[in-house]
């Protein structure tokens, strides 16, 4: 079975500065893949480039299709979704309108079913469906951003730092929902600074440093790697060097 | 001043203010969605008015040809962009909307212009012609620059304004024109005399504002337009094309402009360059609304209309000066109240 998303030899540059260098990665069907790494490693840049927000040199294939010439909107239409770090909600519109617009490219009938699905995943959103998005708490905004992306019925959902700035109890909730997504057939590419939590739910993992992948493999193996543990998981092993 | 004169001025001010309100709303809409400050809004007014007046007097308006020319330009842009991957269906759709449609409208215009058509047909044709011009202008002049800064878009906007004004002189000549009233007749209520035309202005303005409100509040496309205005990246991530939103915004702006023109031209003589000043007054209202607030813009437009009416009574030579001076305290206040805003990057 071929991978759902395959990125080959990707380079992303801001002017002359290369923020991502020669990166290759794959996400299979029904998989959670995580990219962990320190702040500024280039994770967000990579996700933005896969989505088409930033220009990327290299090859990006999705569901057997070359995405080089597709705009952001076309990538959304063929089943790629991104929940960006800053969520980019329509803050002056209510929860329901935000969700409805997430299904802009979907048939009306299917959109209704999608909305029911999102409300079962996030009952909080249903309670607050007439509230303006800008007045929601951070956790609810994150749920809404994920819900809006899910309304487009994506095959692959890319999440950029979904746990950033949220209370631990909400983080746990969001990670639980990510695993539920996998069970319902949506693959997830998860970028996280909270490496411990991410590695626990992921199938595969990549470790990113200064724009390059320095390690990859099964998430459980990566989590067990001593040097990863020292750098990202907060366990201090004496004598362990940075990768 | 006695009450009769005052009531008369108020009535006059509200009639003009209603039109400035429509134009101001269009400006806010276009700016919010595309970041273009739509200087050519005034040309949409003149084009609508003079196309209508020409048709009504049995002349062939040049704007119909301009629409076809711009449409062909827009189609050429679409072809150029799609050159690497020619997508049959998309090309066909572009050909139909950009070439076939204006060609049909041109044929209809030629046919009807020869036989002094009834008012309804004149209005419909003028609206369609100007709407197409607005739509194709966006494709030709603004869509290719969509990713650039507000300043570049503003310069393009000034360029389009000058070009359209020059073409207006070519199409309609230097003489002013008047059109037939949409609704003739009048009645008096107390000291006030209402003409059919002024009632038409109120009616259409209110209907349009209610229509826009319903469109933005209830329909998916209306919400998509608002979403693009609130958060461009968010809208793209939801699959909403910014070009689609831009097209709808320009279409609405040109229809609003043309409609305003058609409503004014039976009341005042319009020249090829009258639109600019009318558009600017809508702009004053839009600035008072901070280029973001629709209700504030509408209220400000009525205020601009009233100030204009009263200053034309007291100091008619300084009418325009007084109206535009309204901007200075507003800008001062805004600069004090609002922190410096850095231009959005995307």
Per residue in B149-166, pLDDT (tens digit) is: 999 999 999 999 999 999
In chain A, which residue's Cα lies nearest the Cα of B238?
Answer: A102
Q: How many CB atoms lie within 10 A of CB A167?
A: 12
For residues A24 and A203, what is the distance between their CA atoms, to the nearest angstrom?
17
- Residue identified by tokens 């990863």 is A228
Q: How many CB atoms lie within 10 A of CB B310?
A: 18
For residues B154 and B283, what is the distance between their CA atoms, to the nearest angstrom?
14
DSSP string, A138-190: HHHHHHHHHHHHHHT--SEEEEESTTTT--HHHHHHHHHHHHHHHHTT-EEEE
Task: Give the pLDDT score at B341.
Answer: 54
Average pLDDT of the residues of chain B: 90
In chain A, which residue's Cα lies nearest the Cα of B229?
Answer: A90
3-class secondary-structure state, position B179? coil
Which residue in the set A100, A148, A149 is minimally distant from B220, CB to CB?
A: A100
B147 touches chain A (CB under 8 A): no
What is the predicted ipTM? 0.90
* Residue of B32, B84, B239, B246 to mutate, testing the A interface (most A Cβ within 10 Å of its Cβ): B239
DSSP string, B281-336: HHHHHHHHTTTT-HHHHHHHHHHHHHHHHHHHHH-GGGHHHHHHHTHHHHHHHHHH
Q: Pick the closest to residue B263 from B12, B7, B26, B16 (CA basis).
A: B16
Residues in chain A predicted with pLDDT less than 70, given as ranges, are 1, 233-243
Task: Give the pLDDT score at A239.
Answer: 40
Q: How many CB atoms lie within 10 A of CB A193?
A: 16
The shortest C-alpha distance from A185 to chain B (Å) reads 20
For residues B202 and B195, what is the distance between their CA atoms, to the nearest angstrom?
11
Task: Give the pLDDT score at A143.
Answer: 94
Contacts of A50 in chain B (CB under 8 A): none
Per residue in B80-93, pLDDT (tens digit) is: 988 876 678 888 99
* Residue of A14, A87, A92, A101 to mutate, testing the B interface (most B Cβ within 10 Å of its Cβ): A101
For residues B170 and B273, what is the distance between their CA atoms, to the nearest angstrom?
11
Per residue in A17-74, pLDDT (tens digit) is: 899 999 999 999 999 999 998 888 899 999 999 999 999 999 999 988 888 888 899 9
The answer to whether B58 and B125 have CB atoms below 8 angstroms apart is: no
In this prediction the pTM is 0.87
* Mean pLDDT, range B321-326, rounded to an integer: 89
For residues B260 and B277, what is the distance between their CA atoms, to the nearest angstrom?
13
Task: Give the pLDDT score at B154.
Answer: 96
Q: Pick the closest to residue B54 from B251, B270, B260 (CA basis).
A: B270
Exposed (0-12), middle (13-18) or buried (19+): which is B333, by Cβ within 10 Å?
A: exposed
CA distances from A213 to A151, A219, B216 (A): 32, 14, 46
Backbone angles phi, psi at B327, to 5 degrees: -65, -35
List the alpha helices (DSSP H) in B138-273.
150-172, 196-218, 220-230, 232-237, 242-264
Is the C-alpha dihedral spanning A48, A50, A53, A58 positive or negative? positive
* Mean pLDDT, range B310-331, rounded to an integer: 88
pLDDT band with cut points at 50, 70 and 90 for residue B1: low
For residues A212 and B311, what is the distance between their CA atoms, to the nearest angstrom?
68
Exposed (0-12), middle (13-18) or buried (19+): which is A214, by Cβ within 10 Å?
A: middle
The shortest C-alpha distance from B116 to chain A (Å) reads 45
B243 touches chain A (CB under 8 A): no
Task: Give the pLDDT score at B88.
Answer: 82
* Mean pLDDT, range B206-230, rounded to an integer: 91
The answer to whether B49 and B164 have CB atoms below 8 angstroms apart is: no
pLDDT band with cut points at 50, 70 and 90 for residue B181: confident
Per residue in B289-315, pLDDT (tens digit) is: 888 788 889 999 999 999 999 999 998
The answer to whether A143 and A124 have CB atoms below 8 angstroms apart is: yes
Task: Give the pLDDT score at A79.
Answer: 93
Determine, for residues B238 and A91 on separate chains, whether the beta-carbon distance falls below 8 Å. no
* Mean pLDDT, range B97-115, rounded to an integer: 94
Q: Pick the closest to residue B325 from B279, B294, B284 (CA basis).
A: B284
B241 touches chain A (CB under 8 A): yes
pLDDT band with cut points at 50, 70 and 90 for residue B316: confident
For residues B31 and B42, what is the distance between their CA atoms, to the nearest angstrom?
15
Q: β-strands A32-37, A57-62: how paired?
A: unpaired
For residues B140 and B69, what is the distance between their CA atoms, to the nearest angstrom?
11
Contacts of A91 in chain B (CB under 8 A): 230-231
Structure tokens, B249: 């915004």
């Amino acid at each position: 079975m071929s991978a759902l998303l395959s990125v080959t030899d990707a380079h992303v540059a801001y002017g002359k500065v290369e923020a991502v260098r020669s990166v290759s990665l794959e996400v299979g069907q029904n998989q959670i893949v995580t990219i962990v790494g320190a702040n500024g490693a280039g994770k967000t840049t990579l996700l933005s480039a896969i989505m088409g927000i930033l220009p990327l040199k290299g090859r990006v294939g999705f569901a057997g299709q070359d995405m080089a010439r597709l705009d952001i909107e076309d990538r959304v239409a063929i089943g790629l979704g991104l929940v960006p770090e800053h969520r980019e909600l329509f803050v002056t519109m209510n929860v329901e309108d935000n969700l409805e617009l997430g299904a802009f490219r979907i048939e009306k009938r299917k959109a209704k079913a999608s909305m029911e699905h999102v409300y079962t995943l996030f009952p909080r959103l249903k309670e607050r469906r007439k509230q303006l998005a800008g007045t929601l708490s951070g956790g609810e905004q994150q749920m809404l951003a994920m819900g809006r992306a899910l309304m487009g019925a994506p095959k692959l959902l890319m999440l950029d730092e979904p746990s950033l700035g949220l209370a631990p109890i909400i983080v746990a909730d969001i990670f639980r929902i990510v695993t539920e997504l996998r069970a319902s057939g949506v693959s997830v590419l998860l970028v996280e600074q909270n490496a411990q939590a991410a590695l626990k739910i992921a199938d595969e993992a990549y470790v990113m440093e200064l724009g390059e992948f320095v390690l990859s493999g099964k998430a459980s193996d990566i989590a067990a790697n001593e040097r990863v543990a020292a750098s990202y998981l907060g366990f201090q092993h004496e004598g362990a060097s940075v990768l | 001043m006695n009450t009769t004169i005052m009531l008369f001025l108020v009535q006059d001010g509200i009639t003009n203010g209603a039109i400035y309100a429509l134009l101001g709303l269009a400006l806010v809409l276009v700016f919010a969605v595309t970041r273009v400050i739509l200087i050519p809004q005034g040309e949409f007014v003149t084009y609508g008015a003079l196309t209508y007046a020409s048709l009504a007097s049995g002349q062939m308006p040049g704007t119909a040809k301009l629409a076809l020319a711009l449409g062909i330009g827009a189609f050429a842009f679409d072809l150029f962009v799609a050159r690497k991957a020619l997508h049959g269906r998309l090309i066909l759709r572009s050909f139909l909307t950009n070439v076939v449609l204006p060609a049909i409208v041109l044929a209809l215009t030629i046919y009807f212009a020869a036989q002094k058509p009834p008012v309804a047909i004149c209005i419909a044709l003028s609206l369609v012609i100007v709407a197409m011009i607005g739509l194709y202008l966006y494709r030709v002049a603004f869509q290719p620059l969509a990713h650039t800064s507000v300043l570049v878009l503003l310069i393009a906007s000034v360029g389009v304004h000058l070009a359209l004004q020059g073409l207006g002189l070519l199409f309609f000549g230097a003489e002013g024109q008047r059109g037939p009233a949409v609704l003739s007749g009048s009645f008096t209520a107390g000291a006030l005399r209402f003409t059919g035309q002024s009632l038409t202005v109120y009616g259409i303005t209110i209907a349009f504002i209610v229509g826009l409100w319903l469109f933005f509040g209830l329909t998916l496309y209306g919400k998509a337009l608002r979403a693009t205005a609130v958060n461009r990246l968010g809208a793209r991530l939801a699959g909403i094309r910014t070009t689609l939103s831009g097209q709808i915004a320009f279409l609405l702006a040109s229809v609003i402009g043309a409609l305003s023109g058609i409503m004014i031209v039976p009341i005042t003589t319009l020249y090829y360059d009258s639109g600019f000043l009318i558009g600017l007054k809508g702009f004053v209202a839009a600035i008072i609304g901070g280029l973001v607030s629709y209700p504030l813009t509408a209220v400000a437009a009525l205020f601009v209309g009233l100030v204009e009416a009263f200053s034309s009574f007291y100091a008619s030579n300084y009418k325009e000066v007084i109206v535009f001076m309204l901007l200075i305290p507003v800008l001062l206040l805004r600069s004090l109240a609002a922190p410096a805003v850095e231009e959005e990057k995307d």
